[in-house]
Amino acid sequence: MPFINTRTSAEISKEQEKQLKEKMGSAISLIGKSESWLMLNFEDNCRLYFKGDNSENMAIVEVALFGKASSSQYDALTEAITNDISAVLNIAPSNIYVKYEEVDHWGYNGFNF
């Protein structure tokens, strides 16, 4: 049950959104999860600042998941997300943050797992 929330100062076209959806749908398997439970959100044109500056495009990607993953799985997913965001949106990897949150309680369809 992962949720990936991507905020970026760049504009995301419908085609780029589709590419990111497909890439993240595949990459989520790196932490033992599947696209069949993946929810995504894309927010573009955000007013983000990094190091006190907003002259370059940047992104923060927040990944919440029910349960846990290993450090090596997180490393692999961070690399994949960074590479995908960089390739699709032309954002420098040094301007991309990836944040993780492990959740013990997750509700769906009127009940909790």
pLDDT, tens only, 37-91: 999 999 999 999 999 999 999 999 999 999 999 999 999 999 999 999 999 999 9
**What single-letter amino acid sits at 54?**
N
Round to whole Å and give the CA distance between 62 and 106: 16
Task: Tell me the sheet residues that pair with 61.
Answer: 6, 98
For 88-113, what is each residue's pLDDT tens digit?
Answer: 999 999 999 999 999 999 999 999 98
Per-residue pLDDT for 30 more than 90? yes
Token pair for 36: 């069949």
Contact, 62 vs 20, CB < 8 A? Answer: no
Token pair for 52: 């006190």
Instruction: Map out the domains of the chain with their CATH numbers.
Output: 3-112 (3.30.429.10)
Closest to 27 (Cα-Cα) out of 71, 84, 69: 84
pLDDT of 87 reads: 98
State pTM to two decimals.
0.94
Helix (H) or strand (E) holding 61: strand 59-66
Confidence class for position 10, pLDDT limits 50, 70, 90: very high
Rg, the chain, Cα only: 14
Cβ neighbours of 51 (radius 10 Å): 9
